[in-house]
Amino acid sequence: MKFNMIALSTTFAMASGTAALADFSDMEPINLRLAHVVNEQDAFHVSATQFKEIVEARTDGKVTVELFPNASLGDERTLLEGMQIGSVDMGVITNGPVANFLEDMAVFELPFLFPSPEAAYDVLDGEIGQELLDRLQEVNLKGLAYSERGFRNLTNSQREVRSPQDIDGLRIRVMENPVYTDTFRELGANAIPMAWTEALTAMQQGTIDGQENPVGVIHSFKLNETQMHMTMTRHTYAPAVVVMGMPAWNNLPEAVQDVVVEAAIEAGAAARTFNAEMELSQLEELREAGMSIIDDADLVAFQDAIMPVYERYGEAFGDYLTRIRAAIE
């Protein structure tokens, strides 16, 4: 699915006064390398493609964006480390790995925190979300905007899961982030932190039983071929971050910086729209492919089971959790 926003984006740029095509007429060409770890059917690639098209249109082609999907430049931790030292310019990165660099970002990963996408958007696009984006400069990264991974659901190859008791003993891959690890250990799983590229191989080889991800990921990677069961737990809303390394950011002229931020915001919004529009059809295709999808699990029991996670992390994020809860009440 492709969003055509070039005309709108160019009009917005001219009207906003932040940058005009004339600002780039005498500028030396710039090429930005943007990487992500998923395939071209994923919402991350929607974000990346939108970013590329908007930036190139608004700078009259003086800034080009080269896309590197499919983890071709490394896993997400490797990409972030590359951004810090300047070997990678930017990426669309799942929030979980970003939180390994700025721990307070993990507050968004707390299970059952956001009751709806709209509640998440209000927080991410408001004061709290912007404050955390700005704080990424503390670790030599420039947070540009929030894209979307989405609400995460559990899949596995062994059995239907309707309650936490059904998870007991399952080997579940989780992102390399302690909030995810602790959440699934409280649910009784053998939680195994692992990079996504490694998880794909582990599922094929049967060395892990399951994983948790949004519907879009499950569909685009055809996880139904190794994972016969999905439970719509929607246990965590996972943002993604359009992020640039400070070395690359500092080398951009101010007019280009303005365009890059605007393009990142609109690219993130495109991913949200894509996920919302595609989820129902993706679920239907997964069902037709033979996947069992449980949409009436005992979510109250799941929420009760993970309460120790809040006891453990409730004060770990300063006042962010309190502020988020106040914002969504």
At 18 the pLDDT is 56
**DSSP E strands, the chain:** 30-35, 63-68, 90-94, 141-156, 171-174, 190-193, 210-213, 229-245, 292-294
Residue 82 phi/psi, 5-degree rounding, is: -65, -40
pLDDT digits (tens, 9 = 90+) for 189-248: 999 999 898 999 999 999 999 999 999 999 999 999 999 999 999 999 999 999 999 999
pLDDT in tens, 113-146: 999 999 999 999 999 999 999 999 999 999 999 9
**Mind listing the domains of the chain with CATH numbers?**
6-328 (3.40.190.170)
Q: Regarding predicted confidence, which is higher, 12 or 20?
A: 20
Q: What is the pLDDT of residues 304-328, one digit of tens each?
A: 999 999 999 988 899 999 999 999 9
Q: pLDDT-derived band of residue 62, with 50, 70 and 90 as boundaries? A: very high
Residue burial 265-280, b: 16+ Cβ < 10 Å; e: rest: bbbbbbbbebbeebbe
φ, ψ at 245 (rounded to 5°) = -75, 145
Structure confidence by residue, pLDDT tens digits, 245-295: 999 999 999 999 999 999 999 999 999 999 999 999 999 999 999 999 999
| Per-residue confidence (pLDDT) for residue 17, from 0 to 100 | 42
**Where do we find the tokens 């059995």?**
159
Q: What Rg value do the Cα atoms of the chain yield, rounded?
A: 20
Instruction: Centre a 10 Å sphere on the Cβ of residue 226 and count the other Cβ atoms it contains.
Output: 20
Give the helix/strand (H/E) hosting 140. Answer: none
C-alpha distances out from residue 159 to 73, 229, 292, Å: 35, 7, 9
Q: What mean pLDDT do residues 11-23 have?
A: 54
pLDDT beyond 70 at 3: no
| Mean pLDDT to the nearest integer, 156-176 | 96
CB contact set of 184 (below 8 Å; sequence gap of 6+)? 167, 172, 174, 191, 212
